[in-house]
Chains A and B, each alone.
Chain A
Amino acid sequence: MKLDVAGIRRQFPILSAVIDGQPVHYLDNGASAQTPDAVLDAVRTYETTGRANVLRGVHRLAERATEAYEKAREEVAAFLGVMPMEVVFTGGCTAAINLVAYSHGSLLKPGDRIILSELEHHSNIVPWQLLRARSGIEIDVIPVTLDGRIDLEVLPRLLSPRTRLISLAHVSNVTGALLDVRAVVAAAKSVGARVMLDGAQYAPHGPVDVPGLGIDFYVFAGHKAYGPNGIGVLWARPELLEAMPPFHGGGSMIGRVTFAETTWAPPPRRFEAGTPPIGPAIGLGAACAWMRRLDWPGVHAHEMALVQRLMDGLQEIDGTHILGPASLQNRYPVVSFMLDGVHPHDVAQTLDSFGVAVRAGHHCAQPLMDRFDLDGTTRVSMAPYNDNSDIDALLTGVKHAARTLR
């Protein structure tokens, strides 16, 4: 059965908005996706019928809030195929990586090695550099192939008995390349290293079979996965969480506090100090439930058809180049391109004047830009609600930029 894209679009109020007389062609989903009614309703229900702090209150509102918060954890766990107590709510994907780098990182010794790649988002680079400065670990970097994939042929040469962790993007936020997780996990196992995946660009495209991936840590962002801002997720194997010391200290994460000694709560609460982002967590739970109801094989086919339409259309415009895999194999609907003689920001600004929202620049991946000696790219990132009219409006705008700005 064909995917009911119009039906999906109707669930996103912002997509029917008119801005300055133009419809919204939203193709900046890789930065932040839009939010469906199901999520907005869940947050509003919490705010209007159950708003209170979680865990310690005995009144009915507090109980409602706690129940909704923990139900959200169950929804996220179901989305990842894991147990709820293995899911830690964080302030975002960046916060989740920082949590692992700080907490799991504190268990590493000087001279231990971590492997990253050249295409990582800064959020999967800088926390490890901070750890390196604190504790003397070493960082190895897997290069990127000409078509924007992590070059796993190089990985065996980077492995060493001191390799403790390989942390990579599940899908590149610039090139859209899908990681060969199986190969990475096999390589990691050969030296006893852990694997962490940055799922920020993967999770918005369907439930994640975390147990099937054989990995150790998974992180993703709520706002890129149709949820609210200010919420992210860390999943880790329970024995790893159990061994990790706290990241932040405060309320809720303790067992017993005395001035002589404080003990920690078990995970996940050990890592959720202070009042958590309750409404955003509830919204993310609703987003995960919403995503689980979608026909993902249908969505994936639809998204890939949009990618094909985009790539075909760009090829017809003189002086365009795609940074990333040219085929649809093992790629996700994130497409970066350059237009000769026109800076990406000027492309994006021109597209905005056609009602098309995209992202331009280095995409928080400056090492990748350096690798290809680029100022930046224009990035088109799609979601299930995008349709041909979005791609066609974009192509019209790129043609206009090509005609007028060079």
Chain B
Amino acid sequence: MNDQLYQDRIVALAKARTGAGKLAPPAKSARRDNPLCGDRVTIDVRLGDDGRITEIAHQVRGCLLCQASASALASVAVGRDKAGIAALRHDAERAIGREPGEAAEPFAAFAPVKSHKSRQDCVLLPFEALGEALG
């Protein structure tokens, strides 16, 4: 065996299932599919008057990386607005090597995905769904 993709931190994020579930309506919701692998993420969010996320929930039908990313995202999304989520996405993109620079926690955990190009979209799929939900 010569692979270190599934490091403990990624597995732990996935197993934590932070934010897994659904929000009762009225919540904003969006679903995104990865047409290549069939992974599917649904994100529900509730926003405060100032446009900041007050609650978030996700349902992931996808791989461990996608689950871990949704879990990581849910752990830090509350209190952020659209720009704040965009900043988190930059972090995730830095972690997987699509942008230069160091990623902050919790997305730094995804650094092993750098060398697995075919799996990088798995990490970004929850961001795609959340971006759509935020409009």
A interface with B by C-beta (< 8 Å): 20-22, 342-346, 349-350, 352-354, 361-362, 366, 369, 375-376, 397, 400, 404-405
- Which B residues fall within an 8 A CB radius of A? 1-3, 5-6, 11, 36-40, 61-65, 67, 116, 119, 122
Chain B contact surface mostly: loop
* Chain A residues within 8 Å of B61, by CB: 375
Contact of A346 among B36, B38, B64 (CB under 8 A): B64
In the complex the two chains form, is A350's CB within 8 Å of B38's CB?
no
Residues of A within 8 A of B1 (CB): 353-354, 397, 400
23 A-B contacts (beta carbon < 8 Å): A21-B2, A343-B62, A343-B63, A343-B64, A343-B67, A344-B63, A345-B62, A345-B63, A345-B65, A346-B6, A349-B3, A349-B116, A349-B119, A350-B3, A350-B6, A353-B1, A353-B5, A375-B40, A376-B38, A404-B6, A404-B11, A405-B11, A405-B64
Query: Looking at B38, B40, B65, which has the most chain A CB atoms within 10 Å of its CB?
Result: B38
Do A375 and B11 touch across chains, with their CB atoms under 8 A apart?
no
Contact A405 B6 (CB under 8 A): yes
Partner among B37, B40, B64, B65 whose Cβ is within 8 Å of the Cβ of A361:
B37
Taking a contact as CB atoms under 8 Å apart, the answer to whether A345 and B119 are in contact is yes
Residue of B nearest to A396 (CB): B1
In the complex the two chains form, what is the Cα distance from A298 to B129 in whole Å? Answer: 51
| Separation of A21 and B1 alpha carbons in the complex (Å) | 10
Beyond contacts A345-B119, A345-B122, A353-B5: 8 other A-B pairs, Cβ-Cβ < 8 A, are A20-B2, A346-B64, A353-B2, A361-B37, A369-B38, A375-B40, A375-B61, A376-B37
Expressed in whole angstroms, the minimum distance between the Cβ of A362 and any Cβ of chain B is 4
Which residues from A are CB-within-8-Å of B3?
349-350, 352-353
CA–CA, A48 to B11, complex, Å?
52
Distance in angstroms from A352 CB to nearest chain B CB is: 7
| Chain A, residue nearest B40 (CB) | A375
Most chain B CB within a 10 A radius of its CB, from A20, A22, A405: A405
Q: A349-B116, A376-B38 are in contact. Are A22 and B2 (CB under 8 A)?
A: yes
Q: Which 4 A-B pairs have the closest CB atoms?
A: A353-B3, A343-B63, A345-B63, A362-B38
